[in-house]
Structure 1
Amino acid sequence: MLEAIREPSCWDSLAKTKKPIVLYGMGNGADSILDVLEQRGIRAQAVFASDGFVRGHSFRGFPVRSYDEVCREFGEFVILLSFAVHHSGMLDRIRELSSIHELYAPDVPVAGDGLFTREYLAQHEAEFDRAYQLLADEQSRKVFLEVLRFKVSGNPAHLFCCQTDKDEAWQLLNPSTQEDFVDLGAYDGDTIRELLAHTGGCYRRILALEPDEKNFRKLTRNTQGFVNIDLLQVAAWDRPATLLLSKRGGRNSRLAQQGEPVRADALDNLANHPVSLLKLDVEGSEARALDGARQTIRRDRPKLYLCAYHRNEDLFALPLQLESISPGYRIFLRHHPYVPAWETNFYCLP
């Protein structure tokens, strides 16, 4: 695997550059990136934001400037993209900035510790190789390698060259009008809406879990009037437990060391009916949730939609875990338009 990933580390490139380093964006992503820069003795010199977000803000001691102001002060500089981008207009803007400046989107994990570096890749090379061998088609193998190249280098061009539309993934899943769908990490019902858009609004049964109180209210509101649907304000886990939820808002709430107590349980304890389609998007708890669904997976062999971008190990650990639970799945990997490598998902067919 290392032979196929020849790109230099993003952090090594930043340590060597003579150009000013400028962060584009504020918030949790910028916080994480600044923390890593400080740990590595790399100095950032400015922060800028899109024009509508400047208005006298400051961030971590930096006055937040406009792009034009940064250009006037520094001329040539390195941009660190510090927020997630998925709208087409903003993705086009990132491509434009990449054509003008040296631009990186440093990969910092959504959950877990450590950075995805060449050293990390070397440490887990055997596992990455085994996961690569499980992939079902050429596009999956291309996505796997390009996402690894992105994670090491921070160069978003590796994501742009392998992305496909979400509709293509739904074509792989090929949902029927009689799906028994379980949505682990249902957020506000967005995946339920996607499913119904591909089945003409038809399904047999839906079970949706969402632990965040605010998201759960949205989910309840957005599915009002649905029949044969059960909504549980529960975190997907591998056993019954009370866990702590860090409420960061939106889809970013996740289990943590501090937060509000929430009920958690294994799908095997909650699904008393067959499951034909199972989604897991649980903000870094996918391995625990997958383990908690092992009886259901062995019994029903459902199609799986499994998010693979929250933890450094997800790209190898999750397919290997699925293969150990129920061998023989055809495992497809797709990356949908997003920078960083969020919306990189496994689609698994029995």
Structure 2
Amino acid sequence: MPFLFFEHPNALERKLERYDALRQILSDDLSRQTLDTHLRFRRFGRFEDLLFTPRQEVPFLLAALPPDVDYIDAGAFDGDTTQEFIEMTHGRFGRICLVEPDPNNAARAARRLKELGVAGDNVSIRQEAVSSERGLMGFNALGSVGSSLDKAADNKVPTALLSDFDTGGSLYFKLDIEGAERGAIHACKDFIARRKPFLGISVYHLPDDLLEIAPMIHELNADYRLYLRCHGAGGEDLMLYALPGVR
């Protein structure tokens, strides 16, 4: 959901030194420019300050993904980002797993895949939520992009760890799980350091998502290259891409 990254300007000012340190671990000038413009937007609220690029314009990622990569779309919504992945890779992938706990969204994703003609044993949909622990957790099933984990909700969904989706092959996780990204990554730091999956992480749901997640990945000492892109004209879809080093 947009604009949840905003915080009181004084709170943001106190974090600017940490953002300066974060800037140093980003891998290209466009990432640093994206960070600078997003911070100006957060400080002054001027949409014209934003630098955003289409989601498909990630040449660094497309050049690095192996043709047999297994794609795990955590927070798949209605399958829109899975469709983009299929189109960007021209249908070259090993397996695809859409992870979407909202039953209405999962049904819409299934219809989308059917319309695309994507089916078979290498494509699946799992009605689970990626989280920091396995079990059952409250979930607000809104049938929209706002569906999210909520411990106080009466409706319960099964939760899983990132490592539960390990296929044994090359992995690419897209994480857009409404603010649960930080906990999910922290719970599987050892798995990430060992398996070195490609990662595309939403870092706009909470004010400190980027500040916490980027250093967490950098400190794994797994030779990750970090790229930041904003794919939304309103500052939403701020994505941190983490590409592992040479395998």
TM-score bracket for the superposition, by shorter chain length: 0.7 to 0.9
CA distance in 1 between partners of 2:241 and 2:143 (Å) = 27
TM-score (norm 2): 0.87
Q: 1:214 deviation in Å?
A: 0.7
Match for 2:11 among 96, 99, 120? 120
CA distance in 2 between partners of 1:108 and 1:282 (Å) = 14
Is 1:330–2:246 an aligned residue pair?
no
Match for 1:185 among 52, 72, 75? 75
Q: Deviations for 1:247-293, whole angstroms, at most 9, x for unmatched residues?
A: 33311111123242111110213424234311111111111121244
Q: Partner residue of 1:210? A: 100
Q: Partner residue of 1:139? A: 30
Q: 1:180 deviation in Å?
A: 1.2
CA distance in 2 between partners of 1:311 and 1:108 (Å) = 6
Is 1:167–2:62 an aligned residue pair?
no
Q: Deviations for 1:172-224, whole angstroms, at most 9, x for unmatched residues?
A: 21144311111111112112111111222221112221111111111223234
Match for 1:288 among 180, 183, 186? 183
Q: Deviations for 1:40-63, whole angstroms, at most 9, x for unmatched residues?
A: xxxxxxxxxxxxxxxxxxxxxxxx
Q: Partner residue of 2:236? A: 342
Larger-gyration structure (1/2): 1
CA distance in 2 between partners of 1:190 and 1:292 (Å) = 27
Q: Partner residue of 1:300? A: 195
Match for 1:244 among 133, 138, 143? 138
Write the letter of the residue equivalent to 2:195: D
CA distance in 2 between partners of 1:343 and 1:216 (Å) = 21
Is 1:220–2:110 an aligned residue pair?
yes
Match for 1:230 among 102, 115, 124? 124
CA distance in 2 between partners of 1:108 and 1:203 (Å) = 33
Task: Confirm or deny: 8 A CA contact 1:182 1:279 kept in the other structure.
Answer: yes
TM-score (norm 1): 0.63
Tell me the number of residue pairs that the alignment of Structure 1 and Structure 2 aligns.
Answer: 237
Q: 1:309 deviation in Å?
A: 0.7
Where structure 1 has 5 or more consecutive residues not aligned to the other structure, the ranges are 1-28, 30-83, 85-106, 110-114
Q: 1:145 deviation in Å?
A: 1.0
RMSD between aligned residues = 2.0
Task: Confirm or deny: 8 A CA contact 2:103 2:143 kept in the other structure.
Answer: no
Q: 1:330 to 1:268 in 2, by over 3 A?
A: same
Where structure 2 has 5 or more consecutive residues not aligned to the other structure, the ranges are none
Identical aligned pairs, as a percentage? 27
Task: Confirm or deny: 8 A CA contact 2:204 2:237 kept in the other structure.
Answer: yes
CA distance in 2 between partners of 1:269 and 1:231 (Å) = 14
Q: Partner residue of 2:215? A: 320
CA distance in 2 between partners of 1:274 and 1:298 (Å) = 15
